[in-house]
């Protein structure tokens, strides 16, 4: 009589297959529920998560990105970064009800295109309070394939389609870079400065117009129509064509949009040859925005504008300085001293942009590399698989090796204030935006 099967055999022949079937059933049910929930929460637009990602293999960059560098030093066989990029073109005819686009790979130095500067997540505090996020839920058709984008990018593409932006290529990071391919993302981030520097124009998308865009547009026009001498000697209550407090509220609200406080936009704005600002249907001139921001920053205090503002919070009232702050960085870069060492440039920009927002702590360094010397060496090449502490330490070493002073030490927090673990006392934690520790004492 044959002996009974062992417990191990029973589990391998019965229990494990059953367990796998149950796991697969649960996954399928969750996937189905997620798709139904997304469709319902987006107003029945058929906007749901597609379990399949867009096949970027149909638009290859024709060259595999560099392999990940060793943590110490550089690999001997590391080649210069590929100058291939993808460009998007909005097509005049929709695919069904979906925006239709064409994506192709080109050589960066032979391309003519506009680059988009925008935020992945909410554009206003109201959007954030309503639960808007940076998840990809909204479908477009790209090369006859479904591709999911964020709600803000979807709104931007709809506006560009409305503006008949059909005949110029676009570079948009969320679409033109395969964000699910870490080596490609690292390589493309490395040439991000070249991408924005080579663009014919940078289109800034502030978000939908809402109720603040029109009065803000009218206010900026009214202020810039005033003669310089008259503008320098007036107070908010005495400006023509601005009869009520809503004008000041709208300006503060416009300048408080999240685009003005995101760290990636610094490089995108500074390196732009030409800039167009879009807020819904309204087009703003950057120099006009900066002129009004300068006026509001220099001619009046926060309390002066508070007296003529009916509903904005204190945080919003400080927002009128945002365009002026960004333009100061742009002027510093474009009119800077060629003799300034690369470490000084990088440190100066990291200090000035410390309060800016970043989704990833690594971007506190990576987003500003395009403003420094392009020959930063292997130590600071973008690598999103590195630990934050390693990148901050590498940045500090680079700055110390490429400056003539120890200024970086003035920006290191006390140990009690650091949030990133594993940082030496002499390395700043760039994710800490508050003035704490040694930063309180300044120099």
Taking the alpha carbons at both ends of the chain, their separation in whole angstroms is 89
Domain residue ranges of the chain, discontinuous segments joined by +: 213-331, 336-441
Confidence (pLDDT) at 6: 42
Among residues 219, 231, 238, 244, which one has the least CA distance to residue 299? Answer: 231
Confidence (pLDDT) at 303: 57
- pLDDT, tens digit (0-9, with 9 covering 90-100), for 74-85: 544 344 556 899
Confidence (pLDDT) at 15: 43
Phi-psi region of 100 (alpha: psi -120 to 50; beta: other; left: phi over 0): beta
Among residues 400, 430, 428, 396, which one has the least CA distance to residue 415? Answer: 428
- pLDDT, tens digit (0-9, with 9 covering 90-100), for 169-181: 999 999 999 999 9
Q: Cα angle at 394 between 178 and 424, to 5 degrees?
A: 125
Average pLDDT of each block of 10 consecutive residues along the chain (443 residues)?
42 42 40 36 40 84 54 44 88 95 95 97 93 94 96 97 95 96 93 95 96 90 81 60 68 92 94 95 95 79 56 58 88 70 86 91 93 68 94 95 90 87 94 76 54
Cβ atoms < 10 Å from Cβ of 414: 12
Confidence (pLDDT) at 237: 55
Structure tokens at 334: 């474009």
CA distance 176 to 414: 41
CA distance 179 to 173: 9
Confidence (pLDDT) at 43: 35
CA distance 7 to 365: 56
Confidence (pLDDT) at 44: 34
User: Are residues 310 and 246 in contact, defined by beta-carbon separation less than 8 angstroms?
Assistant: yes
pTM, full prediction: 0.80
* Strand pairing class (201-205; 113-117): parallel
| R_g (Cα) of the chain, nearest Å | 25
């Amino acid at each position: 009589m044959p002996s009974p099967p062992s417990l191990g055999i029973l589990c391998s022949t019965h229990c494990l297959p059953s367990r796998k079937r149950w796991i697969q059933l649960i996954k399928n049910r969750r996937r189905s529920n997620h798709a139904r929930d997304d469709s319902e929460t987006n107003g029945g637009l058929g906007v749901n998560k597609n379990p399949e990602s867009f096949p970027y293999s149909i638009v290859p960059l024709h060259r595999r990105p560099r392999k990940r560098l060793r943590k110490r030093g550089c690999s001997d066989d590391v080649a210069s970064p590929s100058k291939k990029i993808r460009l998007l073109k909005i097509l005049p005819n929709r695919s069904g009800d979906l925006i239709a686009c064409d994506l192709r790979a080109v050589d960066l130095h032979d391309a003519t295109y506009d680059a988009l500067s925008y935020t992945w997540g909410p554009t206003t505090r109201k959007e954030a309070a309503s639960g808007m996020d940076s998840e990809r839920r909204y479908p477009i058709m790209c090369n006859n394939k479904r591709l999911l984008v964020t709600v803000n990018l979807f709104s931007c593409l709809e506006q560009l389609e409305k503006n008949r932006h059909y005949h110029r290529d676009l570079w948009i990071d969320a679409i033109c870079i395969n964000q699910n391919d870490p080596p490609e993302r690292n390589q493309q981030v490395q040439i991000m400065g070249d991408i924005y520097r080579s663009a014919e124009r940078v289109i800034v998308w502030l978000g939908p117009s809402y109720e603040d865009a029109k009065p803000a547009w009218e206010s900026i026009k009214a202020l810039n129509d005033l003669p310089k001498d008259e503008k320098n000697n007036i107070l908010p209550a005495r400006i023509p064509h601005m009869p009520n407090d809503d004008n000041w509220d709208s300006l503060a609200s416009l300048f408080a949009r999240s685009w003005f406080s995101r760290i990636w936009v610094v490089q995108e704005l500074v390196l732009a040859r030409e800039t167009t600002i879009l807020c819904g249907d309204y087009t703003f001139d950057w120099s006009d925005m900066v002129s009004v921001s300068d006026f509001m920053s220099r001619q009046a205090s926060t309390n002066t504008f508070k007296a003529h503002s009916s509903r904005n919070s204190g945080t919003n009232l400080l927002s009128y300085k945002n365009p002026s702050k960004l333009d100061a960085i742009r002027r510093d870069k474009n009119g800077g001293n060629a003799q300034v060492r690369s470490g000084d440039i990088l440190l100066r920009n990291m200090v000035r942009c410390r309060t800016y927002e970043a989704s990833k702590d690594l971007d506190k360094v990576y987003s500003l590399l395009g403003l420094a010397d392009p020959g930063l060496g292997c130590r600071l090449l973008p690598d999103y698989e590195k630990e934050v502490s390693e990148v901050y330490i590498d940045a500090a070493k680079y700055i110390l090796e490429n400056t003539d002073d120890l200024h970086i030490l003035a920006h290191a927090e006390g140990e009690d204030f650091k949030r990133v673990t594993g940082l030496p006392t002499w390395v700043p934690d760039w994710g800490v935006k508050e003035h704490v520790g040694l930063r309180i004492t300044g120099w």
